[in-house]
Structures are given as C-alpha cells and as structure tokens.
Amino acid sequence: MLAKVSGISWVIGLLTLSGGLFAQEEEREPPYLSRAEWKRLRSLRKVRPLFWIGPLRNKAVYGICFTPLGFREHYNAVVNGLNLEVLGIGTLLTTFHSIIAPFVMAESFDSMDTIPEVYNFQVNGISLGSGFVQRGVLNGIGVGGGLIGKLNGISVGVVNLMYRANGLVIGGVGNAIAEMRGLDIALLNVVGFRMRGVQVALFGNFVLEDSLPNKEKGLIGLQVGPLNAVSYSALGMQIGFLNVAHEKLEGIQMGPVNIGKPYKGCK
C-alpha cells in the first residue's frame, strides 16, 4: 500500500513540474524584475478613476475595471475596487485545468521563499469572472477561480491554482497551491510546499513537499478526507479511510488504514 501511495506522489510531482503555470514570455516580466526596475515601471502607471476597460497596461484604476473580452494578461496594473472579467484567457485556462487541475501547479516550489513582494497585477477589493488570470496579488474576495500568484482573503471557483494563499480557498473541482495558510476545501486538495491550517476534501488531501529546511514539517494542522497523504512529515491530525505520513506524524491518525514511520502520537 505504501508503494502505491509513493507512486501516486511521484506521478503528481511529475505533473506538477510539467504544468508550467507561470511560464514567462521571452521578455522578462515580474516577479523576475529587480526592485529598481519595478519602481521605474510603477512610475509609468496612469491613474484612471471610477471606470476603465481592460485588459490593463500601465494603469491604476480606482473604481471598476471591466474586461469584456481579454486574451492578453494585465501588465503593470492595479485595481482598487471591483475587477470584472467576462470572457478571455482565464475562461479557457480554467476550463482546461478543471480536468487536470489537482495535478497542475506552479513550475517549481524551490524558490517560494525568494519571490519578491512585487507583482505584475494586483486587485485590492473584489474580483469576479469566469476565470481570473494574474501573475499577481488578490487582496480581498475572488469568485471564479483561476490562476493567482498570491491570495490574501477568499477565493471561490471551480479551480484554484496559486503560488501562495492566506485565507479561505474553495474549489468545486480542486485546489492546487504551492504554499497554503488557512482553510482549503475542494474535491481534491494538493499543496506542494507548506500547509499550515486545515484541508477538507471529498476525495483526498496531498502535501507533496520533499526538502524543507531544518526538518520543517510539510503539514502543521488537520487533514480531513477519504485519503490523506503527506510526503515527508506532519504535525497535527489526519482523519480519513487511508492516512499516510511517509516519514512520521507527530499527532494522531484516525481511520481504518494508517501508514507512517516511527512517530509520536497514536493511531
């Protein structure tokens, strides 16, 4: 059984690396620009009050940004208020990823701690759409799911693919997040780096970290679902039919089948 679960983790890991969620264009774009370059870019932003039609490029909108049809991502822009996106690249990507969403994440999690706190596009408020695509930050509430660099707040959608999430993430099909802090709810939840909080799934919860510094645990919190798996070690509780901690679990496993190496706690 342990071999089967290990095989599942390897498959998910390979699909994760092949996802290329935030693949860059030929020209350099954030978050790979230096802070000096970002300061220069931000000086180019033109303020647009009340209402503006996207996709945005070098704009700061205070009010409503409406993108009725957009197959080009926003660039060097911020929306303080309401961001509305109807049909575009986000719709296509979200529809496609709804099939394989739980297995498609950011191209690599090794540099998660080094990504600078400057981003290409930011929404401070509410974002509504059929699919939201941004290499940036959503501070507030998002409905529609999609591809988000960093979330501080709530996101609800069919599919949520993110680098970092702080808050509540609800996915109709699945959530694939590099680093999660908060509550993660979906049919299938996959965290590739760190999970700090609670995962609740109708099918399964996975934490795939493999090399965290100073023996840091991939999961600190609670997993609830038929299948719960942590590829290295965890601190907390797993509740389900099959619970797996490939190295050890410091806490409690509750279910008919519990797999883990020497641990502190009880089954």
In a domain? residue 208: yes
User: What pLDDT is stored for residue 174 in this prediction?
Assistant: 85
Instruction: Return left, alpha or beta for 50; rule: phi > 0 is left, psi -120 to 50 is alpha, else beta.
Output: left
> What does each C-alpha distance from 106 to 18, 115, 152 come to in angstroms?
9, 13, 18
- For residue 165, the one-letter residue type is A
pLDDT band per the 50, 70, 90 thresholds, residue 14: very low
Q: What is the extent of the structural domain holding 101? A: 2-29+83-266
In a domain? residue 64: no
User: What pLDDT is stored for residue 266 in this prediction?
Assistant: 55
How far is it, in rounded angstroms, from Cα 261 to Cα 267?
A: 12
* Higher pLDDT among residues 219 and 98, named by residue: 219
Quick one: which of 181, 113, 172 has its CA closest to 151? Answer: 181
What is the signed CA dihedral for 262, 240, 12, 16, rounded to 10 degrees?
-100
How far is it, in rounded angstroms, from Cα 76 to Cα 31?
A: 11
For the chain, the domain total comes to: 1
Query: Which of 42-46, 52-56, 196-200, 214-218 is predicted least confidently?
Result: 214-218
Q: Which residues are within 8 A (CB) of 59 and not within 5 positions of it... i.e. 6 or more apart?
A: 45, 46, 48, 52, 77, 78
* Higher pLDDT among residues 14 and 223, named by residue: 223
How far is it, in rounded angstroms, from Cα 19 to Cα 142?
A: 23
- Other Cβ atoms closer than 10 A to 43: 8
Q: Does 107 score more than 90 pLDDT? A: no
pLDDT digits (tens, 9 = 90+) for 64-75: 999 887 667 787
pLDDT band per the 50, 70, 90 thresholds, residue 12: very low
pLDDT band per the 50, 70, 90 thresholds, residue 25: very low
Query: Which of 19-23, 33-37, 136-140 is predicted least confidently?
Result: 19-23
In a domain? residue 67: no
Question: Position of tokens 């000086």?
Answer: 43
> What does each C-alpha distance from 121 to 74, 118, 187 come to in angstroms?
6, 9, 29
Question: Position of tokens 């799911």?
Answer: 145
pLDDT digits (tens, 9 = 90+) for 216-232: 888 999 999 999 999 88
When pLDDT is averaged across residues 151-177 and rounded to a whole number, the result is 89
**Residues forming a β-bridge with 205:** 189, 228
Q: Does 166 score more than 90 pLDDT? A: yes
In a domain? residue 202: yes
In a domain? residue 237: yes
When pLDDT is averaged across residues 227-253 and rounded to a whole number, the result is 89
How far is it, in rounded angstroms, from Cα 122 to Cα 205?
A: 29
Phi, psi for residue 142 in degrees, rounded to 5: -125, 135
- Is there a contact between 124 and 84 (Cβ–Cβ < 8 Å)? no
- Is there a contact between 187 and 176 (Cβ–Cβ < 8 Å)? no
When pLDDT is averaged across residues 120-131 and rounded to a whole number, the result is 83
**Cα atoms in the Cβ-side hemisphere of radius 13 Å centred on 218:** 28
Quick one: which of 128, 155, 123, 161 has its CA closest to 139? Answer: 123
Query: Which of 40-54, 120-134, 243-257 is predicted least confidently?
Result: 120-134
Q: Does 111 score more than 50 pLDDT? A: no
Q: Does 1 score more than 70 pLDDT? A: no
The whole-model pTM stands at 0.78
Element (H, E) at 15: helix 2-19
User: What pLDDT is stored for residue 19 in this prediction?
Assistant: 33
* Higher pLDDT among residues 35 and 252, named by residue: 252
pLDDT band per the 50, 70, 90 thresholds, residue 264: low
Number of H helices, E strands in the chain: 3, 13
Which of 11-15, 139-143, 172-176 is predicted most confidently? 139-143
In a domain? residue 227: yes
In a domain? residue 51: no
Q: Does 243 score more than 50 pLDDT? A: yes
User: What pLDDT is stored for residue 93 in this prediction?
Assistant: 60
